[in-house]
């Protein structure tokens, strides 16, 4: 088994050395395929999401050059090397991969791959960037859960020149708190009055009694505390499978066999009562030496 994996590694190293020696040539007809999706905020944003999910682990954060140390290395998407690719080239490379660069043709849809291309284009010096890093504004969120109607009511404010005022048209993410982090259950936008109402989906599963902690957050263009609401009964009951069959001896204290518990208590109790009785005899010895002064009978 060991030998086999050694062999594979050897072949991989050989291959990667071999390919790195040459440039990544994209067939001419592919090179100039035009991007069918328009370069706009929506597509770039979606592309960013996809990039964070699928590519960041190797290519790192844009502009930070914190790529994974592979041979040949993945490139930072803001780098010149990346940006001198045409859109068609990038699309082709994502689709087919090479060496350590996976092929995404089968896992990410054509449209989504083009969206990623759009996102990479955001860092192209020849383009007007769609995502600008405006300084984040301070904001505040107020939220409460309406248990009867299964709705989350939200009010958002942001810090303007003269104090906090209502924040219209901001995207708010609603999640449910789980044991290992939050799971997103939906998004809403605030209206003109800074308010938003989110209807909790019927399918949300709570704990054994249906309780859920709803978490409300603004996107990262705002500096605002994430609001974690108190437990509310807005989810379905979690079906907990009883893993221990009734009738087994090894069990938790909740479903211990009653006869076992009684036996334990009786046996231990009897032993310690007897010990207690003997200890009491020691007192009798002591008492007897006080009351009687006789030497011997």
Q: Which spans of this chain sit near ligand HEC (rule: CB under 6 A)?
A: 19, 24, 54-55, 57-59, 70, 72, 74-75, 81-82, 85, 90, 93-94, 98-102, 104, 116
Assess 289 for contact with other proteins (CB under 8 A): yes
Assess 252 for contact with other proteins (CB under 8 A): yes
Find the shortest distance in angstroms from Cβ 261 to other proteins. Answer: 5
DSSP secondary structure letter of residue 136:
P
Find the shortest distance in angstroms from Cβ 131 to ligand HEC. Answer: 16
Assess 5 for contact with other proteins (CB under 8 A): no
Q: Are 167 and 158 in contact (CB under 8 A)?
A: yes
Quick one: what does residue 100 bind among other proteins, ligand HEC, none, with the CB cut-off 5 to 8 Å set by partner type? Answer: ligand HEC
Q: Are 227 and 198 in contact (CB under 8 A)?
A: no
Pair type for strands 181-189 and 171-178: antiparallel
- Segment interacting with other proteins, rule: CB under 8 A, options 102-110, 152-160, 231-239, 288-296: 288-296
What Cα–Cα distance (Å) separates residue 80 from each residue in 66, 75, 89?
15, 9, 14
Find the shortest distance in angstroms from Cβ 8 to other proteins. Answer: 16
Q: Are 24 and 99 in contact (CB under 8 A)?
A: no
Looking at the DSSP bridge assignments, the partners of residue 195 are 155
Give the other-Cβ count within 10 Å of 165's Cβ.
12
Q: Which residue has the tokens 């597509």?
A: 43
Q: Are 212 and 170 in contact (CB under 8 A)?
A: no
Quick one: what does residue 252 bind among other proteins, ligand HEC, none, with the CB cut-off 5 to 8 Å set by partner type? Answer: other proteins
Assess 14 for contact with other proteins (CB under 8 A): no
Quick one: what does residue 257 bind among ligand HEC, other proteins, none, with the CB cut-off 5 to 8 Å set by partner type? Answer: other proteins
Q: Are 147 and 232 in contact (CB under 8 A)?
A: yes
Find the shortest distance in angstroms from Cβ 109 to ligand HEC. Answer: 12
Q: Which of 183, 273 has the CB closer to other proteins? A: 273
- Report the candidate in 133, 115, 125 with the shortest Cα–Cα distance to residue 49: 115
Find the shortest distance in angstroms from Cβ 247 to other proteins. Answer: 12
Q: Which of 71, 271 has the CB closer to ligand HEC? A: 71
């Amino acid at each position: 088994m060991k030998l086999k994996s050694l062999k594979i590694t050897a072949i991989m190293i050989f291959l990667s050395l071999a390919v790195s020696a040459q440039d990544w040539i994209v067939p001419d007809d592919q090179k100039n395929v035009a991007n069918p999706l328009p370069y706009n905020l929506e597509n770039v944003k979606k592309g960013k999401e996809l990039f964070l999910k699928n590519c960041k682990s190797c290519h790192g954060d844009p502009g930070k050059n914190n790529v994974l140390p592979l041979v040949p290395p993945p490139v930072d998407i803001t780098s010149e090397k990346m940006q001198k690719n045409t859109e068609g080239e990038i699309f082709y490379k994502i689709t087919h991969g090479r060496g350590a660069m996976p092929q995404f043709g089968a896992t990410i849809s054509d449209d989504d791959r083009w969206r990623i291309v759009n996102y990479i284009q955001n860092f192209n010096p020849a383009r007007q960037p769609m995502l600008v890093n405006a300084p984040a504004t301070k904001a505040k969120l107020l939220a409460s859960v309406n248990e009867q109607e299964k709705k989350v009511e939200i009010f958002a404010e942001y810090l303007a020149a003269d104090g906090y005022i209502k924040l219209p048209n901001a995207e708010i993410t609603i999640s449910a708190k789980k044991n290992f982090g939050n799971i997103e259950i939906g998004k809403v936008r605030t209206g003109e009055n800074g308010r938003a109402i989110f209807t909790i989906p019927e399918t949300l599963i709570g704990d054994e009694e249906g309780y859920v902690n709803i978490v409300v957050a603004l996107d990262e263009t705002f500096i605002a505390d994430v609001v974690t609401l108190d437990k509310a009964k807005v989810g379905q009951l979690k079906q907990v499978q009883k893993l221990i069959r009734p009738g087994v001896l090894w069990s938790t204290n909740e479903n211990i066999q009653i006869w076992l518990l009684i036996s334990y208590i009786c046996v231990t109790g009897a032993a310690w009562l007897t010990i207690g009785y003997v200890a009491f005899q020691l007192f009798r010895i002591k008492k007897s030496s006080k009351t009687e002064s006789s030497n011997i009978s």
